[in-house]
Structure 1
């Protein structure tokens, strides 16, 4: 087993991913487990503990000493969605590391996307948030208010709008759309009223509702104008989040690199809508594809905490296993 091991964890609403590497950027293991969000809910702390333990132990399977109890990491960075403050106690009881940091997920997403460099990232998964850092060490965030108060452009928002506009169309208050039939098929319900009751009664969770976003995107690609409008609006909302962060960190004469992360951006139309809206709203922004995923981003932050230089050689080694 390498003498020094570094750990990065990306704890999200859909899954928790751990990546372990040596001091030169050679990845020795990856592991994935269930979600680690909603830790404040009943049973949430145990769910968080289980997700972290399972993801790290799966990453350690190919290392000579696979037991988590036998490993002290040189550094570990845990990037957690939905706030990190109350999660630190749980994670500190699980992991042993000379440098341990439990933080929010956005800085890790930025670090991964831009390989540790300054810029802005927009995260559009179940929720939506933008975060940035400039070369002067300043940082800013926009969005991230959750599904009740924000998250415009997120998978949840796209899915909710898809169902909502299908309901409006059923009341003959909106143009023709196939979203009604698509929603009933996706959620296996007999009517939109039954679907609504299932959502209000929490038979369908927020995360489950968000899965309908992919169907809305597919409908948009099939020339469903109602679905197309939803994806277009999502792109504009996400671009607006980035624009707020850029305005706080960059002057109009500075080029602002902007990367994107999250399931919404797997959709080509969503990416195109986002890029076009950002170019119109903030001309000095430069959209770039993410280099590494957020788990690698958390790993990069663990290196930084331990004083390890993010050299070209280290990043090249990571590229062999970690590029998006």
Structure 2
């Protein structure tokens, strides 16, 4: 069998694994549950989920671990050095046939998802390896922001993120607004009626109890699903909901700027051509900022609009683009790059056209 390349994207809602050949053709995929060592029932349960997704992908491809030339694991919960060490040990024990897997936070998965035109080598660096430089901003159930600089420096916001983002964060903020309104500590909002109906609660106290009672709860996925109610309320002119949306966009823009600066990009230089290429270090064509995840990639997303508006003000060097492939494809692109494969447009197109059906990636 020709060499295969493995990408894994693990979060709180799901873990997905993708196998492709050197041309970017998907040959197998697998899915399982929560792969976050901080968010799963236990760290061992997260490992079980990741291993299950990988083995399902291998089985679908009729392949063995030894057939995998390079693998990239992009996992929620790889936040500290001990987390990385934990995963390296777990993968060595559970998937011993994989050679030198790459393990990073799931935020890194989307850096290559905006297309093949990323940051070009800086002056004097022609011929260096493809680092896949840029910044990724992901908003799904939760959020992640990570960056890779023009010389390969990597950094993730991780626990430096001090605001709840993504769909679950948006709903969490909306719930707090509803509770404050009920206590006459905040303005009235149509979010009250919307969230009561969505969660099947008779009044605000019942809603609060359903989230905080000892034997009640809704889970991350259910909470995140209510984000559409917040977005709809904002679209209908509810100022409380609109403020929550604007705040999320502003915070994500701030975090993108911080991340870019941390990995070596110049964040204040205005792109001179507004087009592709450039490493942003000399005021060239800017810093690639890939926006990924269902919250940001949904058609007409007001969070994306708020983020783009904020980026134009706080991060003028940013060159934002929507992801053209899902984060798990970005992980497998990292594996391909690690193996020395040229990531041209044809590879992206094959990944896109041979990708699993949309239902496979749905939360």
Output the TM-score relative to the length of structure 2: 0.78
Going from structure 1 to structure 2, the CA distance change for 1:157 and 1:137 (only over 3 Å counts) comes to same
Identify the residue that residue 81 of structure 1 maps to in structure 2. Answer: 76
The answer to whether the aligner puts 1:259 opposite 2:290 as a matched pair is: yes
Identify the residue that residue 141 of structure 1 maps to in structure 2. Answer: 156
Counterparts of 2:355 and 2:163, CA distance in 1: 28
Per-residue deviation, 1:271: 0.7
Paired residue for 1:223, among 237, 252, 255?
237
Q: Could you report, residue by residue, the CA deviation over 1:108-152 in whole angstroms, capped at 9, with x for unpaired residues?
A: 22133454732111122233332112222233333x328xx7234
Counterparts of 1:24 and 1:12, CA distance in 2: 27
Counterparts of 2:345 and 2:169, CA distance in 1: 39
Identify the residue that residue 21 of structure 1 maps to in structure 2. Answer: 20
Counterparts of 1:171 and 1:201, CA distance in 2: 19
Per-residue deviation, 1:71: 5.3
Structure 1: 5+ residue stretches without partners: none
Structure 2: 5+ residue stretches without partners: 117-130, 270-279, 281-285, 359-363
Per-residue deviation, 1:102: 2.5
Going from structure 1 to structure 2, the CA distance change for 1:288 and 1:37 (only over 3 Å counts) comes to same
- Cα pair 1:39 1:48 within 8 Å, conserved: no
SS in 1 for 2:112: helix
Q: Could you report, residue by residue, the CA deviation over 1:257-289 in whole angstroms, capped at 9, with x for unpaired residues?
A: 211122321441111111011112122212111
The answer to whether the aligner puts 1:314 opposite 2:347 as a matched pair is: yes
Identify the residue that residue 93 of structure 2 maps to in structure 1. Answer: 93
CA RMSD of aligned residues (A): 2.7
Q: Which moved more, 1:241-250 or 1:34-43?
A: 34-43
Output the TM-score relative to the length of structure 1: 0.86
Identify the residue that residue 103 of structure 1 maps to in structure 2. Answer: 104
Q: Could you report, residue by residue, the CA deviation over 1:139-190 in whole angstroms, capped at 9, with x for unpaired residues?
A: 3333x328xx723433232111111111122223333311112222222222
- Cα pair 2:10 2:75 within 8 Å, conserved: yes
Counterparts of 1:9 and 1:281, CA distance in 2: 33
